[in-house]
């Protein structure tokens, strides 16, 4: 039974439980943060090495899919997150409400969006390139957009934050693209190792973030109705994201394969970007709480995606 659960889900649960039982404290916290940042750097270096440049160029040519998808992911979804954040103020813990805004500003997944697009009979090539380009844009867009919409609550995206994001996320990706001709084939040939690195980095980021939240005893700040509001807010975001992406793809008269690619790339949110970025942007005691909506959303989207893909394929 356990083997049927997505490996990333198992790692996220393990990292969360470990943080609850054995949070990193004191001087070890600084060391753990350095390890987390180094792992994020290596992750984006590998992403730069394994994403072929010609696929990026080719994907940019599918304007009917790409530009509306960018508008959906970095326009409509952040607006939805902003409404949930504003609506949750005074009802739930402020950092959890802010987490909905953070969730809305993130790009989509790459691996799972592509995998479920394939299972649903969608345009896999478009899905791969669109999701990858959204993640590249996310390096530039997600943090400033979150800061802009969140105002004082989101924290100013100052020069220091910009340097951290560029240095830990963008620079290694660019280096990977530059070195792709020499090492790209090697990385792609060892896909399992690269996937393991992806998952390990995410688990480390979640562990470090939740350790800070556990030390601050975040659960004492959340009333029972707050947990209910968190679940309802996540469910509402899942519904609007999936239904809205599907209806918009139909309104744009996309071919069925592209419409399916639009659905999964537009509705899914990336913990692979969200957890490392939160570790870079926020103090650990804030990051762990802000990540709660993202983690619940991510787990729920995986549960929802399999039957949805199967139904689309049968139709």
Of all residues in the chain, what percent carry a pLDDT higher than 70?
85
Q: Which residue has the higher pLDDT, 57 or 241?
A: 241
CATH T-level topology, domain 2-314: Na+/H+ antiporter like fold (1.20.1530)
Where in the chain are the domains?
2-314
Query: Within 13 Å and on the Cβ side, how many CA atoms surround 210?
Result: 24
Q: Are 206 and 19 in contact (CB under 8 A)?
A: yes
> Looking at the DSSP assignment, which residues form a beta bridge with residue 53?
none
pLDDT band at 304 (very low <50, low <70, confident <90, very high): confident
Range 265-291 average pLDDT: 81
> Which of 148, 154, 160 minimizes the C-alpha distance to 89?
154
Q: What is the pLDDT of residues 205-260, one digit of tens each?
A: 778 777 776 776 766 667 777 788 888 999 999 999 999 999 999 999 999 989 99
Is pLDDT at 140 greater than 60 in this prediction?
yes
pTM to 2 decimal places: 0.77
Q: Which residue has the higher pLDDT, 180 or 169?
A: 180
- The whole-number pLDDT of residue 1 equals 47
DSSP track, 66-80:
HHHHHHIIIIIHHHH
pLDDT band at 68 (very low <50, low <70, confident <90, very high): very high
Average pLDDT of the chain, as a whole number: 80
């Amino acid at each position: 039974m356990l083997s049927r659960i997505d490996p990333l889900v198992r790692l996220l649960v393990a990292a969360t439980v470990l943080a609850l039982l054995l949070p990193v404290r004191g001087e070890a916290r600084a060391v753990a943060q350095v390890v987390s940042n180094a792992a994020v750097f290596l992750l984006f270096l590998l992403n730069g090495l394994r994403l072929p440049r010609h696929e990026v160029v080719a994907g940019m040519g599918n304007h009917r899919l790409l530009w509306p998808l960018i508008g959906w992911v970095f326009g409509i979804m952040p607006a939805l997150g902003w409404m949930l954040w504003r609506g949750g103020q005074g009802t739930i813990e402020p950092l959890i409400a802010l987490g909905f805004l953070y969730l809305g500003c993130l790009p989509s997944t790459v691996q799972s969006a592509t995998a479920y697009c394939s299972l649903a009979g969608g345009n896999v090539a478009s899905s791969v390139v669109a999701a990858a380009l959204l993640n590249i844009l996310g390096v530039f867009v997600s943090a400033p957009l979150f800061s802009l919409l969140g105002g004082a609550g989101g924290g100013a995206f100052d020069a220091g934050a910009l340097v951290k994001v560029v240095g830990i996320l963008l620079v290694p990706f660019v280096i990977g693209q530059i070195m792709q001709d020499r090492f790209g084939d090697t990385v792609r040939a060892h896909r399992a190792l690269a996937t393991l690195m992806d998952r390990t980095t995410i688990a480390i980021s979640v562990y470090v973030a939740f350790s800070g939240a556990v030390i601050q005893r975040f659960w004492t700040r959340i009333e029972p109705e707050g947990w209910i509001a968190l679940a309802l807010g996540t469910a509402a975001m899942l519904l609007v994201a999936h239904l809205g992406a599907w209806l918009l793809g139909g309104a744009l008269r996309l071919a069925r394969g592209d419409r399916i690619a639009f659905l999964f790339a537009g509705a899914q949110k990336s913990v692979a970007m969200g957890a490392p970025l939160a570790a870079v942007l926020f103090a650990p005691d804030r990051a762990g709480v802000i990540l709660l909506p993202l983690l619940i959303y991510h787990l729920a989207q995986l549960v929802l995606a399999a039957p949805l893909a199967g139904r689309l394929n049968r139709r």
